[in-house]
Structure 1
Amino acid sequence: MEKILKKLKKLLRLIFGRTTLGTLFLLIQILVLFAGFDWFREYLIYMYGGSAILSALVLIYIISDEGNSTIKLSWVVPILIFPVFGTLFYLFLTLQPGTRRINRRIEEVGTKLRPYLLQDPEVLAHYESISASGGNLVRYMNQYGRFPAYENTGVRYFPLGDDMFPVLLEELKKAEHFIFMEYFIVEHGVMWDAILQVLETKAAEGVEVRFMYDGMGNLFTLPHGYEKAMQEKGIQCKIFAPVRPALSSYQNNRDHRKICVIDGHTAFTGGVNLADEYINQRVRFGHWKDTAVLIKGKAVDSFTMMFLQLWDVTERDGEEYRRFLCPPEFHMPEGMDYGGFVMPYADSPLDGENVGESVYLDILGRSRRYVHITTPYLILDDTTLAALKFAAKRGVEVIIIMPHIPDKLYAYLLARSYYAELLRSGVQIYEYTPGFIHAKMFTSDDEKAVVGTINLDFRSLYLHFECASYFFRNAVVMDVEEDFQKTLAKSERITLENCRKYPFIRRFAGKALRILAPLM
């Protein structure tokens, strides 16, 4: 009887919950829009030529505008099939003032932060003396990504979220001044409950604790009003882009970053969110393979400013940013790798600069011997697809490890639609047989590596706020590569024969889904 009552309560919460009501309200808005467009179309039945001209003008604008050709195609098709509705829906989403206001605010905060993210000319000169071509990437990141490269930075690599978690707890307990945390997914369990207990303790001790989580990523994992409950514990808390029952293009731009900054000198990033599956305390899709890095030193300034840029979007009072910088008296702990260069960076979907994709393309374009990649999703635009194929065709060993047990069937079917084309070009594809690989990593030529939050899909490369760290000739590069090889040993190689034997209906579904790929 008790079980039946619990199930009934869950059902009632589902039916009358904010998510269901919000979805219903959105559907009503869409129906009203359809009805309005239908009425508009009938009203203009004798002026259909005018709507055709408007559609043609919009198509000319889309085709001639800067941007990704695959994303353009995803708009061209509906406009050609449904000229009136497709055209007006495109104008409705692209002309919204809200998104422009938010981008302006992000730029305003970014301008205030820029003096704290200046490139040390001696570091750049040293980088260029070792690698002139690598210096080009640093200059690009300085000018367009607005993040510098650093030396003398301590780095530690974690091949699993299980390995990172106890170290994260230990570092949080050492906090004396402030803790900044920004995560895409948070869910109560072993991991989050232990972290929350530390945050409560630290806030009670007078440590400034700020926590930000994404509205969409936690729609089903945290209760409504959770940020207020956090504030009652003494923790400053914000929801990034709360999900509201209103049609808006901004709702598509989520905060996918994973950042923890402690006292300005210690930072964590990588693919690990704050939920039990990320540390294998809860089994979802088999064994969960994820990665993270711990960074200490001046390079942490970049992560601090990344956090503050989004945090201050809703703040109007100015902050003294200097007090959050890495303390000049900070001494590196023993036992960490300090050699080489570290370049943390962020990517925004609103500034027109695809920094995350540009870094990946630079690695592919400059590779000489190998490029090794792990990604949970493989939904490619023409540019990245061509870069992967060209690298393989010129003799570079390109290996991609994907999940064998996917978390989203549609994303997996889409990824499979690229397999045969990549394989024919010489790209090697493996699937991690123990379960789901959530790690987002690149390694190349024993000298470059990227660990962060950026998947090889449209959402990460074009629609989400993301972050990562680029390592050049740092000892951590070989740690990442060693982990890649261990993961490869547990993975199954995909062949063209595998692709041919894959069920036809699934192959067809994957190809059909490519029309919607920019939204997935």
Structure 2
Amino acid sequence: MIFSQKTTIILLLALQLIFIFIIFQSFAVHYAYLHIVFSTVAIVLAIYILNSSENPAYKLAWIVPLVIVPIFTVVLYILLKNQFSTRKVRNLYAKKSANTRPFLKTNKQIMSYLHESEPDFYKLANYVDKSGGYPVCGNTEVTYFPLGEDKYKAMLEELQKAQEFIFMEYFIIDDGEMWREIVKILLEKAKAGVEVRLLYDGMGSQFTLPFRYKKKLTDQGVKCLVFNPFRPMLSTIQNNRDHRKILVVDGNVAFNGGVNIADEYINLKERFGHWKDTAVMLKGDGVWNFTMMFLQMWEVISGDKTEYNMYRPTVKNVVNNGYVIPYGDSPLDDENVGELVYMDMINNAKDYIYISTPYLIPDNEMLTVLGYAAKSGVDVRIITPEIPDKWYVSVITRSFYRDLETLGVKVYEYKGGFNHAKMFLSDDKSAVVGTINLDYRSLYLHFECATYMYKTSCIKDIKADFDDMFENRCHRITHDDINNRSFWSRFMSVILRTIAPLL
């Protein structure tokens, strides 16, 4: 081949953008009236965007290019925002969520107890149930893994035990040592009659798996689907990716967290220094939320209909160990569940709120609640990577350090490596571990999932991990560190922060 698959896709996308830009700029040069028409449309479009329900920062990211290059931006906005494929998926997902709602019933006994004894947590549980579609669960044991290597070891053990079915949904699957060990088990289980379903994202795994890999697995007995296969065409739906990481075994065990299926996540391969990531394993009633989350997505893509009760948990653990809410977030509805759960934790923190995120691009609302908490006397700390995986995201992230310092928020960087963990911890009683970053993509554009834990025994393990990072593995960002940012970093941050919601 003259060009690789990756290079070909990039070139095709670039050619489309160049073609649109040249055509419409040439119209503006040779036909002045068209320039007037498009400028008028740009003004109308700007007013429409300002009055839309989008996040204010997202609006600004469109309005700035509308002012600078109105013709090009008008065409690009209309092309991206008015497409049949986007509306079709949105309608399918909404219908599927409504149809499966009866299978995600609220435990009235738990909610009654929380209403009387835990009113703050009751409000959050009620919101996630009614607006997000995922109920609070008791009778669930949670194990915390402070590194990807720990999760991987437990994954292999649970996969080997599978008797009925295995569901896997991942953003990135890389054809390396980690995946080869997992797929070997999957193929063995499929051959033995275990139902194996695999769902991976078309963009996240675009360049990490062999060409036509779906067919290869299907031919070997694995039911395989690709979420939103990437095509080199300008389309809004291509911006919505399946960023979830879910493994369900026999309906009795589920894994969730930031760990994708690639060797760097378990430090078999070094890309950005030591890779820090975290995950949780659930056993008990809470697994059902993840099972249904997986089946919802599977049916939207495939069009299949499932007998859901076939996949219910068969092991009844009796665990008096707090509560969990395994929940998902969709970019195709009007509920920003991921962001609101985070904000609820910040607003209800009394002593401290610890945050770990690889990408820190907070909107004004998030900055406001972080600042309010810090000014109220809450110890607010955020851990980001010292070694980034994307230079432009790091430039934007570090541009917020001064804002956060002014608000009283303490920022730390994970020394000598890349911190990919997405976690919140508050007051020794509540925590979230999942896939949701503190950036626009996770909070507004991607399908995400996480596990909210309330008074579970593993919270002490999460606290110990945070304490270890603060004391031994992180460098606190000082006023001098902020002032010593290079001119290039400052200059690029001015530009990139303006369009951050579009990156």
User: TM class, shorter-chain normalised?
Assistant: over 0.9
3-state SS, counterpart of residue 16 of structure 1: coil
In structure 1, what is the equivalent of residue 324 of structure 2?
342
1:512: Cα distance to partner? 2.1
One-letter identity of the residue aligned with 1:237: C
CA distance in 1, matches of 2:376, 2:386: 28
Q: Percent identity?
A: 46
Match of 2:252 among 260, 265, 283: 265
3-state SS, counterpart of residue 471 of structure 1: strand
Unaligned runs of 5+ in 2: none
1:112: Cα distance to partner? 2.1
In structure 1, what is the equivalent of residue 179 of structure 2?
192
3-state SS, counterpart of residue 88 of structure 2: helix
Match of 1:507 among 446, 465, 490: 490
3-state SS, counterpart of residue 350 of structure 2: coil
One-letter identity of the residue aligned with 1:376: P
In structure 1, what is the equivalent of residue 365 of structure 2?
383
CA distance in 2, matches of 1:516, 1:51: 22
Contact preservation (8 Å) 2:27, 2:34:
no
Within the alignment, does 1:286 sit opposite 2:286 as a pair? no
CA distance in 1, matches of 2:486, 2:28: 42
Match of 2:376 among 382, 387, 394: 394
In structure 2, what is the equivalent of residue 358 of structure 1?
340
CA distance in 2, matches of 1:411, 1:24: 23
Within the alignment, does 1:414 sit opposite 2:396 as a pair? yes
1:81: Cα distance to partner? 1.2
CA distance in 2, matches of 1:505, 1:145: 42
Within the alignment, does 1:145 sit opposite 2:123 as a pair? no
Contact preservation (8 Å) 2:27, 2:35:
no
One-letter identity of the residue aligned with 2:207: F
One-letter identity of the residue aligned with 1:100: R
Using the TM superposition, name which of 229-238 and 46-55 deviates more. Answer: 46-55
TM-score scaled by structure 1? Answer: 0.94
Using the TM superposition, name which of 385-394 and 463-472 deviates more. Answer: 385-394
Within the alignment, does 1:156 sit opposite 2:139 as a pair? no
Match of 1:97 among 62, 84, 90: 84
1:249: Cα distance to partner? 1.0
CA distance in 1, matches of 2:175, 2:14: 30
Contact preservation (8 Å) 1:155, 1:338:
no
TM-score scaled by structure 2? Answer: 0.97
Contact preservation (8 Å) 1:416, 1:507:
no
CA distance in 2, matches of 1:95, 1:44: 26
Residues 86-235 of structure 1 aligned to structure 2 (within 5 Å): 86-235=73-222
One-letter identity of the residue aligned with 2:326: P
CA distance in 2, matches of 1:284, 1:346: 29
CA distance in 1, matches of 2:497, 2:389: 18
In structure 2, what is the equivalent of residue 332 of structure 1?
317
1:44: Cα distance to partner? 5.5
1:395: Cα distance to partner? 0.7
Within the alignment, does 1:242 sit opposite 2:224 as a pair? no
1:34/1:502 CA distance change after superposition, 3 Å: closer
One-letter identity of the residue aligned with 1:519: L
Q: Deviations over 1:322-372 (max 9, x none)?
A: 111223xx1339xxx741110000011111211100100111111111000
1:446: Cα distance to partner? 0.9
1:190: Cα distance to partner? 2.4
Within the alignment, does 1:59 sit opposite 2:42 as a pair? no
1:201: Cα distance to partner? 0.7
In structure 1, what is the equivalent of residue 8 of structure 2?
21
CA distance in 2, matches of 1:359, 1:48: 45
3-state SS, counterpart of residue 389 of structure 1: helix
Match of 1:437 among 415, 419, 422: 419
One-letter identity of the residue aligned with 2:481: N
Contact preservation (8 Å) 2:227, 2:301:
no
1:315: Cα distance to partner? 2.6
CA distance in 2, matches of 1:278, 1:226: 21
3-state SS, counterpart of residue 451 of structure 1: strand
3-state SS, counterpart of residue 475 of structure 2: strand
Using the TM superposition, name which of 473-482 and 416-425 deviates more. Answer: 473-482
Q: Deviations over 1:456-512 (max 9, x none)?
A: 111111111100010111112221111111111121111111111222221222232
Unaligned runs of 5+ in 1: 1-11
3-state SS, counterpart of residue 499 of structure 2: helix
Using the TM superposition, name which of 51-60 and 494-503 deviates more. Answer: 51-60
1:47: Cα distance to partner? 5.7
In structure 2, what is the equivalent of residue 9 of structure 1?
none
In structure 2, what is the equivalent of residue 30 of structure 1?
17
CA distance in 2, matches of 1:254, 1:235: 22
CA distance in 2, matches of 1:20, 1:287: 29
In structure 2, what is the equivalent of residue 467 of structure 1?
449
Cα RMSD for the two superposed structures: 1.5
CA distance in 2, matches of 1:193, 1:216: 20
One-letter identity of the residue aligned with 1:450: V
CA distance in 1, matches of 2:442, 2:224: 24
CA distance in 2, matches of 1:414, 1:316: 40
Residues 359-374 of structure 1 aligned to structure 2 (within 5 Å): 359-374=341-356
3-state SS, counterpart of residue 339 of structure 1: coil
1:380: Cα distance to partner? 1.3
Q: How many residues align?
A: 502
1:338/1:170 CA distance change after superposition, 3 Å: farther
CA distance in 2, matches of 1:40, 1:48: 8
Q: Deviations over 1:177-216 (max 9, x none)?
A: 1100011111122211111111011001100000011111
CA distance in 2, matches of 1:262, 1:194: 17
Using the TM superposition, name which of 78-87 and 361-370 deviates more. Answer: 78-87
Contact preservation (8 Å) 2:214, 2:224:
yes
CA distance in 2, matches of 1:240, 1:201: 24
3-state SS, counterpart of residue 487 of structure 1: helix
Q: Deviations over 1:357-406 (max 9, x none)?
A: 01001111111110001111111111111111111111100001111111
1:39: Cα distance to partner? 5.0
CA distance in 2, matches of 1:401, 1:169: 29
CA distance in 1, matches of 2:303, 2:35: 48
3-state SS, counterpart of residue 70 of structure 1: helix
CA distance in 2, matches of 1:148, 1:119: 5
